[in-house]
Structure 1
Amino acid sequence: MNVRPEFLQHRRKPTFNLPAGATDAHCHVFGPGAVFPYAPNRKYTPDDAPKEMLRALHDHLGVSRAVIVQASCHGIDNRAMMDCLASDPKRYRGVAIVDDSFGDKQYDKLHAGGVRGVRFNFVRHLGGAPDMGVFNRVMDRIKGRGWHVVLHLDAGSIEPLSDLIKALPLPFVIDHMGRVPAKDGVEQAPFKRLLEIARRDNAWIKVCGSERIDMPPYDKAVPIAHAVIETAPDRVLWGTDFPHPNPTHAADEADLVDLVPQFAPDPKRQQALLVDNPARLYGFA
Structure 2
Amino acid sequence: MNAIPTIPPPHPDPHAPAFKLPPLACDTHCHVFGPDAKYPYVADRPYTPPDAPLSKLQWLQARMGIERAVLVNATPHGRDNLVVTDAIAASGGRYKGIANVDASFSDAEIGRLAAAGVVGCRFTFLARLGGRPDMSTFETVVKRIAPHGWHVDLYLPAKDLDNFAPVLDALPITYVIDHIGVVDAKLGPEQAAFRALVARYERDPKCWIKLTGAERVSSSGAPYHDVVPLAKRLIEVDPDRLLWGTDWPHPNVPAMPDDGDLVDLVPLYAPDPAVRQKLLVDNPARLFGFAA
**CA offset digits 1:200-219 (Å, max 9, x no partner):** 21111000100000121211
Q: Any gaps of 5 or more consecutive residues in structure 1?
A: 1-5
Q: How far apart are 1:8 and its partner, in Å?
A: 7.6
* 1:48 counterpart residue number: 51
Tell me how many residue pairs correspond in the alignment: 280
Q: Are 2:160 and 1:143 aligned?
A: no
**CA offset digits 1:64-120 (Å, max 9, x no partner):** 100000101111111111111111141000000101111122111101110000100
Q: Are 2:137 and 1:131 aligned?
A: no
Q: Are 2:263 and 1:257 aligned?
A: yes
2:153 is paired with a residue whose SS is strand
* 1:94 counterpart residue number: 97
Q: How far apart are 1:7 and its partner, in Å?
A: 8.0
Alpha-carbon distance in structure 1 between the residues aligned to 2:169 and 2:191: 20
Structure 1 residue ranges (4+ consecutive) displaced by more than 4 angstroms after TM superposition: 6-9
* 1:208 counterpart residue number: 212
Matches within 5 A, 1:1-285: 10-199=13-202, 200-214=204-218, 215-285=221-291
Alpha-carbon distance in structure 2 between the residues aligned to 1:78 and 1:243: 18
**CA offset digits 1:241-265 (Å, max 9, x no partner):** 0000012112000000000001111
Provide closer, same or farther for how the CA distance between residues 124 and 268 of structure 1 changes in structure 2, counting only shifts above 3 A. same
**CA offset digits 1:35-87 (Å, max 9, x no partner):** 11111111111010011111110011000100000101111111111111111
Provide closer, same or farther for how the CA distance between residues 221 and 140 of structure 1 changes in structure 2, counting only shifts above 3 A. same
2:50 is paired with a residue whose SS is coil
**CA offset digits 1:163-184 (Å, max 9, x no partner):** 2212211000000000001011
- Of 159-168 and 274-283, deviating more is 159-168
Alpha-carbon distance in structure 1 between the residues aligned to 2:138 and 2:178: 17
Amino acid across the alignment from 1:229: I
RMSD: 1.4
Q: Percent identity?
A: 49
Quick check: 1:205–1:236 contact (8 Å CA) kept in 2? yes
Quick check: 2:11–2:256 contact (8 Å CA) kept in 1? no
* 1:3 counterpart residue number: none
Q: Any gaps of 5 or more consecutive residues in structure 2?
A: 1-8
Amino acid across the alignment from 2:113: L
1:144 is paired with a residue whose SS is helix
With normalisation by structure 1, the TM-score equals: 0.95
Q: How far apart are 1:162 and its partner, in Å?
A: 2.4
- Of 86-95 and 254-263, deviating more is 86-95
Provide closer, same or farther for how the CA distance between residues 7 and 219 of structure 1 changes in structure 2, counting only shifts above 3 A. closer
